[in-house]
Chain A
Amino acid sequence: MRTALLGAAALLALTAAAPASGPGAVVHIRDDHFIPASITVKAGDKVTFINDDDDAHTATADNASWDSEGLSQGQKWDHAFMKAGKIAYHCTVHPMMHGTIVVTAASHAMSAK
Chain B
Amino acid sequence: MKRRDFVGHVAWTGAGLLYVLGAEGIVRATADAAPSSFGFVQISDSHIGYTGPANGDVHGTLAKTVADINAMPAQPAFVIHTGDVTHLSKATEFDDARAILSTLRAPLITIPGEHDVIGVEGPKRYAAAFARKEAAGRGWSAWDQGGIHFVALINVGEGETMGMLGDEQLSWLANDLSARKPDTPVVVFGHVPLFAAAPEWGWTTSDGSKAIALLRRFKAVTVLNGHIHQVLEHQDGAIRFATARATAFPQAAPGTPGAKPGPLKVAPESLLGVLGYRTVEVAGRAAWQDRTLAEG
* Interface residue? A94 (CB, 8 A): yes
* Interface residue? A85 (CB, 8 A): no
Interface residues of B (CB under 8 A from A): 49-54, 87-90, 114-115, 118-122, 160-163, 200-202, 257-258, 260-263
Q: How far is the CB of A86 from chain B (nearest CB, A)?
A: 18
Given contacts A1-B257, A54-B263, contact A92 B118 (CB under 8 A): yes
Docked pose: A81 CA to B144 CA in angstroms? 52
Main secondary structure on B side of the interface with A = loop
Contacts of B261 in A (CB 8 A): 32, 55, 94
Cβ-defined contact, B262 with A54, below 8 A: yes
Q: How far is the CB of A52 from chain B (nearest CB, A)?
A: 12
Docked pose: A72 CA to B49 CA in angstroms? 9
Interface centre among A3, A7, A72 (most CB of B within 10 A): A72
Interface string of A33-59 (1 = CB under 8 A from B): 000000000000000000001111010
* Interface residue? A90 (CB, 8 A): yes
Q: How far is the CB of A6 from chain B (nearest CB, A)?
A: 10
Q: How far is the CB of A57 from chain B (nearest CB, A)?
A: 10
Q: How far is the CB of B84 from chain A (nearest CB, A)?
A: 10
Contacts of B54 in A (CB 8 A): 54
Cβ-defined contact, A90 with B160, below 8 A: yes
Cβ-defined contact, B161 with A92, below 8 A: yes
Please, could you name 29 A-B residue pairs with CB atoms under 8 Å apart, sorted by A? A1-B258, A7-B258, A32-B260, A54-B52, A54-B54, A54-B262, A55-B261, A55-B263, A56-B87, A58-B118, A67-B120, A69-B118, A69-B120, A70-B88, A70-B90, A70-B118, A70-B122, A72-B51, A72-B88, A90-B160, A92-B118, A92-B119, A92-B160, A92-B161, A92-B162, A93-B115, A93-B118, A94-B261, A96-B202
Contacts of B90 in A (CB 8 A): 70
Name which residue of chain A comes closest to B49, CB basis.
Answer: A72
Cβ-defined contact, A31 with B260, below 8 A: yes
- Give the residue of B121, B160, B258 whose beta carbon is less than 8 angstroms from that of A95: B160
Contacts of B262 in A (CB 8 A): 32, 53-55
Docked pose: A56 CA to B261 CA in angstroms? 11
Docked pose: A95 CA to B51 CA in angstroms? 23
Interface string of A11-28 (1 = CB under 8 A from B): 000000000000000000
Cβ-defined contact, A69 with B121, below 8 A: yes
Beyond the given A69-B118, A72-B52, A95-B160, please list 12 additional residue pairs across the A-B interface where CB-CB is below 8 A: A4-B257, A31-B260, A54-B54, A56-B88, A69-B119, A69-B120, A69-B121, A70-B89, A70-B90, A72-B50, A92-B160, A94-B261
